[in-house]
Amino acid sequence: MKTTISKLVMSITLSFSLLAGGTLALQATPVHATSASKASNVISTAKKYLGTPYKYGVSTSTTRYFDCSSFTKYVFKKYGTTLPRSSKSQSKVGSYVSKSNLKPGDLVFFYKPIHHVGIYIGNGKMIHTYGKPGVMISSINSGWWKDHYATARRVS
């Protein structure tokens, strides 16, 4: 009987310790870790749509086609971030990020005035949609995109 009570007390003590420790660990999670995880999820979801056709002005309720801002709006909404409909409006949310401080998951914007947006995925690349072949990955540091880079925002 003493052994049973002893095991029960140990079990309750261990359970309480794990519960308290787990709660403290959750409270101590750094914001950047959550953001990095969310960015990874956003990028993973965005990549599922590679090749999805581009169609300007398409409804945000479809995944059959995307334009640049319906794509970013749709992908971020899946992870709790609500973005405005247009790239110009999206360029005003969150906080400014310099090109040298880009992190995966940041929104990158092009043209002046702004009328294109993509999701930075790291290593100088973004996922976005524009013309053919639809959703694609492009370098922001070469060619046309380098010449027309405007700004970036961190929204999560």
- First CA to last CA distance, the chain: 55
Question: 57: helix, coil or strand?
Answer: coil
DSSP string, 9-47: HHHHHHHHHHHHHHHHHHHT--HHHHHHHHHHHHHHHHH
Strand partners, 149: 110
* Catalytic annotation present for 68: yes
- Could you list the beta-strand ranges (E) of the chain: 95-96, 107-110, 116-122, 125-129, 135-139, 149-154
Picking from 51, 85, 82, the residue whose alpha carbon sits closest to that of residue 68 is: 85
Q: Which of 32, 115, 116, 148 is catalytic?
A: 116
Other beta carbons within 10 Å of 50: 13
Q: Is 32 a catalytic residue?
A: no
Q: Which two tokens stand for residue 10?
A: 């140990």
Active site residues: 68, 116, 128
